[in-house]
């Protein structure tokens, strides 16, 4: 399907002048409406904002492709817009975006929109084409540029098919690619295909043969075959999520994030083919461009991801078992036993998957060992985290040892030697190095949370609650949430000091959407737009479900003031939660876990009080903006 089939000329605007990301999205939705492709523009607009909440669609190089599937869409369609002054769209390169395409897809449609996204991404990798679109003087000229670019691609398709057939035949006869590569991003959309296209184009410029596996949301359409990998000189993995790495053992390999695949393809190709490029071995030694703090953060988040369902299950089962009408029954004892048993897995799983993130499968036993020892030595979640990194480090050293002294036999030793060395090495390090400081730190945290006066706890609740809405999905939000989850894991399946911190964190995250919905739908209706009033009660429901990003549509008008209102109401809710000694048993769930909370009525009062404060602040902030305009 060509772009011309999806892009109505009425949905092209070359002279728009929005100032913010939110205004830009609203302008694009309005353009789509002109083509008759939307049956509910407000519903589709909300879907776009929800998609942006998961990660910006600003692709860099002045381009953004916001998109969403929604029941508010009649048919697959496009809108296009040029903003000559540029818009700050949170792009991956930190630069303004000037060229925008919006993709709208029906909710129950196939993944055809992903094909369109991949096609657009491939076209827009060409700087000359991008410049021609931005400099177009009329919608007709804009459409003509697209038609000519697609025609050029179609003319080259037959040659490309012949080339691929020749390459496959050569590979079968024993020749080889210079480089094989894998690209993947968390969502599996634009960045995956842009990185693949960038590597392919740059390889062609350099006269290199390359095959790229784009592991996207629509599946793997160009999977590397064993013979492709065997006959390749080197491998590039440009991915921000886990991919199958064991197939590359023994090959020179460069491992980077997907953005580097887009921005630095020439550097990656040269590094991969360099004589200094290290071979990939079990344990995962690669050339990786990433700061040490960022790598440590990713490893920690990997472990955290795996304990979330365990923590929720252990906490909820144990909380149900503590109800008066059930705790003395056999069912209560059964639920409590299951909850306790799952709770005992939290530290080993946390440590194991931190280690796994560092050293792959060979590090799992070392990580489990560290987690078990943290539990045995009562060093708490601090010990589990530290021991996870220790286990990963031991596995890394073990793999380096095998690479040097067991060359040619390291795969055979993966089943026995690596786990044994990992377990013994981690045991020694933990027992004689990390146990004492980890236990000391964990104990001090317990003392701080358990013995501090109300003023300190209220301040802590206000700080963590405010952080939840300071950047919504950014570093502050993630740090606050990670703190709550880790401290909750430190006490589960019982109710402990970490449960009080988790309650403050959850209250801080629930409050902003409730506040915005109450302001727009109840107490300040004249100050809000028709679309904002329409989604008010849906926004309130998102708040009760602990979906903080539900407040995004209300931040468009005066974002700084609106975000300040969010921070203040979240801080108030977190502080009140701590003041009333409220505690929750799970790291998520919102209103569904409130009945299981300690002091549930006070907890609900804390959330509603913070929300009411936020609603008043939203009305005040919005009224001041109206007066100025």
For residue range 309-336, list pLDDT tens digits in order.
Answer: 889 899 899 889 888 888 778 888 898 8
- Reported as a pLDDT band with limits 50, 70 and 90, residue 410 is low
- Reported as a pLDDT band with limits 50, 70 and 90, residue 4 is confident
Predicted pLDDT at 172? 45
| Residue 367 near residue 352 (C-beta atoms within 8 A) | yes
| Residue 559 near residue 23 (C-beta atoms within 8 A) | no
Given a cut of 90, is residue 80 above it in pLDDT? yes
Given a cut of 80, is residue 298 above it in pLDDT? no
Predicted pLDDT at 512? 94
| Residue 429 near residue 394 (C-beta atoms within 8 A) | yes
Predicted pLDDT at 149? 85
CA 18 – CA 23 distance, rounded (Å): 6
- As given in the structure block, the two tokens for residue 11 are 């949905």
Instruction: Spot the catalytic one: 27, 45, 113, 185.
Output: 185
What percent of the chain lies above the pLDDT cut of 90? Answer: 31
Predicted pLDDT at 51? 83
Predicted pLDDT at 523? 92
- Reported as a pLDDT band with limits 50, 70 and 90, residue 580 is very high
CA 392 – CA 364 distance, rounded (Å): 8
Lowest mean pLDDT among 39-48, 62-71, 164-173, 353-362: 164-173
- As given in the structure block, the two tokens for residue 189 are 């959309």
CA 253 – CA 268 distance, rounded (Å): 10
CA 45 – CA 30 distance, rounded (Å): 9
CA 276 – CA 272 distance, rounded (Å): 9
Predicted pLDDT at 103? 92
CA 563 – CA 548 distance, rounded (Å): 12
Beta strand 77-87 with 67-70 is unpaired
- Reported as a pLDDT band with limits 50, 70 and 90, residue 189 is low
Q: Between 451 and 291, where is the model more confident?
A: 451
Q: Which class in CATH covers the domain with range 3-149?
A: alpha beta
Q: Provide the CB-side half-sphere exposure for 364 (13 A, CA).
A: 8
Query: In sequence order, what are the residues at sequence separation of 6 or more whose Cβ sits closer than 8 angstroms to the Cβ of residue 189?
Result: 67, 114, 117, 216, 217
Beta strand 63-64 with 58-60 is antiparallel
For residue range 253-267, list pLDDT tens digits in order.
Answer: 998 877 788 878 899
CA 122 – CA 183 distance, rounded (Å): 14
CATH superfamily assigned to domain 176-273: Response regulator (3.40.50.2300)
Residue appearing with tokens 């970490």: 498
Q: Between 553 and 153, where is the model more confident?
A: 553
Predicted pLDDT at 516? 94
Can you say whether residue 97 is alpha, beta or left, with left for phi > 0 and alpha for psi between -120 and 50 degrees?
beta
Predicted pLDDT at 243? 67
Lowest mean pLDDT among 5-9, 90-94, 277-281: 90-94
> How many Cβ atoms sit within 10 Å of the Cβ of residue 363?
33
Predicted pLDDT at 289? 46
Predicted pLDDT at 629? 42
- Reported as a pLDDT band with limits 50, 70 and 90, residue 628 is very low
Given a cut of 70, is residue 414 above it in pLDDT? no
Secondary structure class of 406 (helix, strand, coil): coil
67 labelled catalytic: yes
Predicted pLDDT at 173? 41
Instruction: Spot the catalytic one: 67, 113, 299, 588.
Output: 67
Span 559-577, mean pLDDT? 93
CA 96 – CA 105 distance, rounded (Å): 26
Given a cut of 70, is residue 170 above it in pLDDT? no
**Ranges for all domains in the chain classified under CATH 3.40.50.2300:** 176-273
Given a cut of 70, is residue 156 above it in pLDDT? no
Distance of CA 397 to the CA centre of its chain: 30
CA 12 – CA 32 distance, rounded (Å): 9
Q: Between 401 and 368, where is the model more confident?
A: 368
- Reported as a pLDDT band with limits 50, 70 and 90, residue 2 is confident
Distance of CA 382 to the CA centre of its chain: 24
Given a cut of 60, is residue 217 above it in pLDDT? no
CA 501 – CA 601 distance, rounded (Å): 17
Predicted pLDDT at 406? 60
pTM of the entire predicted model: 0.60
Predicted pLDDT at 248? 87
**Ranges for all domains in the chain classified under CATH 3.40.930.10:** 3-149
Mean residue pLDDT across the chain:
84
Given a cut of 80, is residue 19 above it in pLDDT? yes
113 labelled catalytic: no
Given a cut of 50, is residue 532 above it in pLDDT? yes
| Residue 56 near residue 111 (C-beta atoms within 8 A) | no
Given a cut of 70, is residue 45 above it in pLDDT? yes
| Residue 217 near residue 114 (C-beta atoms within 8 A) | yes
């Amino acid at each position: 399907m060509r772009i011309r089939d999806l892009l109505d000329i009425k949905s092209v605007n070359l002279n728009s002048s929005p100032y913010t990301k939110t205004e830009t999205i609203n302008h694009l939705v309005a353009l789509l409406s002109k083509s008759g492709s939307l049956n509910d523009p407000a519903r589709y607009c909300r879907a776009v904002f929800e998609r942006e909440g998961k990660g910006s669609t600003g692709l860099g190089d002045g381009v953004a492709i916001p998109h969403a599937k929604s029941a508010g869409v009649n048919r697959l369609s496009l809108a296009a817009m040029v903003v000559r002054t540029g818009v700050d769209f949170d792009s991956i390169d930190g630069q303004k975006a000037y060229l925008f395409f919006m993709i709208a897809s029906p909710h129950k449609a196939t993944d055809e929109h992903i094909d369109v996204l991949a096609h657009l991404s491939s076209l827009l990798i060409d700087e000359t084409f991008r410049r021609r679109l931005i400099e177009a003087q009329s919608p007709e000229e804009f459409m003509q540029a697209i038609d000519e670019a697609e025609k050029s691609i179609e003319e080259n398709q037959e040659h490309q098919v012949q080339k691929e057939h020749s390459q496959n035949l050569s590979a079968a006869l024993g020749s080889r690619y210079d480089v094989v590569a894998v690209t993947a991003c968390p969502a599996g959309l634009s960045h995956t295909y842009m990185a693949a296209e960038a590597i392919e184009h740059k390889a062609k410029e350099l006269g290199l043969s390359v095959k790229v596996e784009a592991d996207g949301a629509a599946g793997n359409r160009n999977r590397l075959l064993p013979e492709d990998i065997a006959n390749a000189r080197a491998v590039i993995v440009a991915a921000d999520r886990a991919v199958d790495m064991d197939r590359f053992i023994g090959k020179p390999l460069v491992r980077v994030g997907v953005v580097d695949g887009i921005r630095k393809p020439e550097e990656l190709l040269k590094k991969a083919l360099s004589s200094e490029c290290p071979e990939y071995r079990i344990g995962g030694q690669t050339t990786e461009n990433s700061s040490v703090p960022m790598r440590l953060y990713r490893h920690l988040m990997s472990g955290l991801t795996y304990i979330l369902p365990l923590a929720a299950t252990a906490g909820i089962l144990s909380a149900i078992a503590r109800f008066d009408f059930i705790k003395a029954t056999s069912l209560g004892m059964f639920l409590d036993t299951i909850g306790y048993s799952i709770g005992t897995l939290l530290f080993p799983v946390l440590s194991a998957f931190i280690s796994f993130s560092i050293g792959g499968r060979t590090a799992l036993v070392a990580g489990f060992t560290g987690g078990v020892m943290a539990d045995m030595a009562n060093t708490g979640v601090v010990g589990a985290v530290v021991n996870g990194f220790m286990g990963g480090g031991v596995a890394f050293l073990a793999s380096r040892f095998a690479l040097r002294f067991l060359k040619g036999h390291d795969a055979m030793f993966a089943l026995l030697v690596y786990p044994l060395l990992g377990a013994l090495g981690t045991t020694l390090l933990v027992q004689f190095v990390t146990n004492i400081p980890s236990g000391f730190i964990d104990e001090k945290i317990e003392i701080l949370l358990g013995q501090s006066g109300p003023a300190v706890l209220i301040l802590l609740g206000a700080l963590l609650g405010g952080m939840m809405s300071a950047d919504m999905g950014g570093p502050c939000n993630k740090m606050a949430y990670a703190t709550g989850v880790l401290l909750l894991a430190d006490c589960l399946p019982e109710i402990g000091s970490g449960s009080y911190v988790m309650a403050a964190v959850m209250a801080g995250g629930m409050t902003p959407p409730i506040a915005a919905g109450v302001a727009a739908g109840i107490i300040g209706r004249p100050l809000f737009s028709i679309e904002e009033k329409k989604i008010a009660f849906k926004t309130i429901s998102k708040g009760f479900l602990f979906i903080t990003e539900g407040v995004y549509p209300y931040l468009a008008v005066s974002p700084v003031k609106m975000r300040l209102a969010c921070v203040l109401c979240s801080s108030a809710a977190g502080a009140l939660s701590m003041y009333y000694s409220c505690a929750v048993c799970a790291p998520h769930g919102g209103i569904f876990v409130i009945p299981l909370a300690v002091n549930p009525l006070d907890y609900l009062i804390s959330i509603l009080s913070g929300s009411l404060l936020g609603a008043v602040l939203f009305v005040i902030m919005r009224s001041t903006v109206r007066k100025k305009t």
